[in-house]
Amino acid sequence: MREYKKYYITLPGGELYEIERPLVMAVINVTDDSFYSASRVTTNANALRARTRQLIEDGADIIDVGACSTRPGSEPVALGEEIDRLLRSLPIIKEEAEKSKRRVPVSVDSYRSAVVKACHEAVGIDIVNDISGGTLDDSMWQTVARLRLPYVLTHVKGTPRTMAAMTDYRDGVAAEVLEDMAKKLDSLRQMGVNDVIVDPGFGFAKTIEQNYQLASCLELFHSLNAPLLVGFSRKKMITEVLGCRADEALNGTTVLNTVALLAGAHILRVHDAKEAREAVRLIEALRRNSVMINKIETTDKSEI
């Protein structure tokens, strides 16, 4: 089991946020086109309050809000519609998050810089989660740099509509994804974006087999010297292997989340906060006791 490495990110206003243990990023989709229907929440205030409150009670550390589906094959909603959905939802979600006894940052899941700018100016957001890694909007990185927002850098090729056909990796999926992310991470840091979280992009421009090849190499991504986020939750890489539907894929999700935690992942992006938080607690208990055993073994050897 890999030793866990702590990181700090700076949230808006200069607030230092410590990733002292693996975090749970819980999803709220204010869209009717998300691949997992149970994650969809209307912009009705009561429904949003109830969903946000439940996720936080279940152990969510970050709330990630999206208003435009990015599932493979999906078509984007109009820019104005995405902004409108978020501006109606974010104030309610943020209000509930601020009621928590612990700090619960709110992230916006969008690849459009205009969405990020509008949400930050109107409501205030803590993190930008861009599934395109800056490839679908030339202004995204400059916007994030100017607003000084932490940024989730995700690997993808193509667009949500075309990504399923863009799975050719000449040098192997892990090597090419790592190289691509290293280059982009360097560019972001040169622009002054220092608070970057890396996401290998499971399900985005990867076959089922490539997703598992990538999952088996997760420890390689620690070489990027950035917090590592993984998003397996209820995805096709689980449902196709198990022959089940997305609403039956919770157990498979937990298994892969556990694999990621053993590899030292820092953030689990999930639909089900309670089960993810329980996985974190168990792996942390295992990690603590593994350290104790190692110390005992070292002491025993030194006394011989």
Residues assigned a catalytic role: 235, 269
Q: Whole-angstrom Cα distance, residue 201 to residue 194?
A: 20
Both tokens of 39, joined, read 């994650």
Neighbours of 261 (CB within 10 A): 25
Strand partners, 23: 267
Q: Whole-angstrom Cα distance, residue 199 to residue 215?
A: 12
Q: Are strands 196-199 and 229-230 parallel, antiparallel or unpaired?
A: unpaired
- Length of the chain equals 304
For the CA atoms of 287, 288, 294, 295, the dihedral, rounded to the nearest 10 degrees, stands at: 160
Residue type, 197: I
Q: Whole-angstrom Cα distance, residue 41 to residue 144?
A: 27
Do residues 116 and 65 make contact, with C-beta atoms less than 8 angstroms apart?
A: no
Both tokens of 302, joined, read 């030194």
Neighbours of 302 (CB within 10 A): 7
